[in-house]
Amino acid sequence: MRYISTRGQAPALAFEDVMLTGLAPDGGLYVPETLPRFSAGQMRAWAKLDYADLAATIMQPFVEGFLAEDELRAITRETYAGFRHPAVAPLVQLGHNEWLLELFHGPTLAFKDFALQLLGRLLDVSLARRHQRVVVLGATSGDTGSAAIEGCRRCANVDIFILHPHQRVSEVQRRQMTTVLGDNIHNIAVQGNFDDCQEMVKQSFSDQSFLPEGRRLVAVNSINWARIMAQIVYYFHAALALGAPERAVSFSVPTGNFGDIYAGYLARRMGLPVRQLVIATNANDILHRFMSSSRYGKSALAHTLSPSMDIVISSNFERALFEFYGRDAAALADLMNRFRSSEVEVPATVIAAARAEFTSFSVDDAMTCATIAGVYEESEYLLDPHSAIGVRAARECRDDPAVPMVTLATAHPAKFPEAIARAGVAREPALPHYMADLFERPERCAVLPHEVREVQDFIRGRMA
């Protein structure tokens, strides 16, 4: 399997090189040159596979040339054995034909563990074979940082540096990062906001000369293809449990950077009968505005009760646009260049292609709270604010009550107690028992000024 850039001006790469790169050198994102397609007969035969074995079967074509199927299976078994639920991604019923897919049973209680627990292990295998050491560098406003740290903590050849805005992440989120102690783990609290952190990370990626010879940066944000690949699996797993391939299933996905829902779109293109794919956004609704108007334009960042979806641009949407443009990389590159400075409008064929694949809905903080409270009232199920947005959008957009509608529950409610309190639910969401001592664990974190030089000096000084 080879991977090509959405902007058409970068060399095609094999899986390993794509995993070890961030953006393509032409500014695009890597996508598979062709997708595997699975038949109904193949899917029927998968009914007996547990999560880890299904994951290896589905991902195998993507890593061809890097890992053989038995090697990959050993890795997925180890990865998902670390999740705290025997079903790994259990389904919970909320209403008639209405389901939640709980994706928060990994070590940091959010869906990002599905990809990052795997990515750490894949990096380890690749770097050991190549006798290389890399620096993982990322910025986080919350969930990505802790999932990346947990994913890389046991990697022999990775030094990981995660920037977060000082005093602007929740206490649970901070502690999930700073209480993971290890010589290769470095938390940096930047005296600035999330955009400042992200800007310094971008600058460092574009000029890596501050690193010693032979060392490079690896991106673990959701533009990394390996993360998308790992997320395709749970769409298949859930749909098979609900009757696929005989029966179609719909999904509603709380969306920020468009990584998670893009994986659902790929699952459909790989043969899974997916009826609706609902893009559920918070007040940061660039995608909902695009779907409604065919115009794609930035707006100011809103700080919401669902901080992991607070984005201005959904980076991975470029991968879907590439398909809506019929893989015309030149036309897409032109659009993305114009988009940098102004709002752009796409041709009728492009918006029609987008609307054939996705429905969208935007949920503000008041609706989020009402949904948390309403669902708790109905069934005593406590939704986190991101999952609540998914449930609300699912209920608004659903077109056929005979088709199971599955909302991706992307985080555990204990990560976001403020939102639960704001919703007026009297019950405080408890951390799972294995994390009950989170508030007693020692923390390690450096506070640095918003100065890229100082951050880079720090990285050079601490890396092995």
Ligand X SMILES: *Cc1c(COP(=O)(O)O)cnc(C)c1O
Q: Which residues bind ligand X (CB under 6 A)?
A: 110, 112, 143, 222, 254-260, 308-309, 386, 410-411
Relative to beta strand 158-165, strand 216-218 is unpaired
For residue 167, the tally of other CB atoms under 10 A from its CB is 9
When the beta carbons of 28 and 259 are compared against ligand X, the nearer one is 259
Query: Tokens in use for 152?
Result: 């890389």
Give yes or no for a contact between 11 and 24, defined as CB atoms under 8 angstroms apart: no
Give yes or no for a contact between 220 and 135, defined as CB atoms under 8 angstroms apart: no
**Smallest distance from ligand X to CB 370, Å:** 19
Give yes or no for a contact between 361 and 396, defined as CB atoms under 8 angstroms apart: yes
- Cβ-based burial of 156 (10 A; exposed 0-12, middle 13-18, buried ≥19): exposed
**Smallest distance from ligand X to CB 308, Å:** 3
**Smallest distance from ligand X to CB 101, Å:** 12
**Smallest distance from ligand X to CB 436, Å:** 21
When the beta carbons of 260 and 365 are compared against ligand X, the nearer one is 260
Query: Tokens in use for 365?
Result: 């903080």
When the beta carbons of 112 and 175 are compared against ligand X, the nearer one is 112
Dihedral (CA of 259, 262, 266, 267) sign: positive
When the beta carbons of 319 and 395 are compared against ligand X, the nearer one is 319
Question: Which of 265, 284, 247, 282 has its CA nearest to residue 358?
Answer: 265
Query: Tokens in use for 318?
Result: 């470029």
Give yes or no for a contact between 198 and 175, defined as CB atoms under 8 angstroms apart: no
Give yes or no for a contact between 280 and 392, defined as CB atoms under 8 angstroms apart: yes
**Which segments of 214-303 does DSSP mark as H helices, in order?**
225-241, 259-269, 286-293
Question: Which of 176, 171, 66, 184 has its CA nearest to residue 118?
Answer: 66
**Cα atoms in the 13 Å half-sphere on the side-chain side of 323:** 20
**Smallest distance from ligand X to CB 74, Å:** 27
When the beta carbons of 237 and 386 are compared against ligand X, the nearer one is 386
**Smallest distance from ligand X to CB 427, Å:** 20
**Smallest distance from ligand X to CB 259, Å:** 3
Question: Which of 340, 342, 298, 294 has its CA nearest to residue 321?
Answer: 294
Buried/exposed code over 173-196 (b: 16+ C-beta within 10 A; e: otherwise)? bbbbbbbbeeebbbbbbbebbbeb
Strands (E), 322-414: 344-345, 359-362, 405-409
When the beta carbons of 125 and 421 are compared against ligand X, the nearer one is 421
When the beta carbons of 13 and 147 are compared against ligand X, the nearer one is 147
When the beta carbons of 112 and 268 are compared against ligand X, the nearer one is 112
Active-site residue, selected from the candidate residues 48, 112, 298, 415: 112
For residue 430, the tally of other CB atoms under 10 A from its CB is 13
Q: Which helix (H) or strand (E) holds 196?
A: helix 194-206
**Smallest distance from ligand X to CB 340, Å:** 21
13 pairs with which residues across the strands? 3
**Is 48 annotated in the active site?**
no
Residues designated catalytic: 112
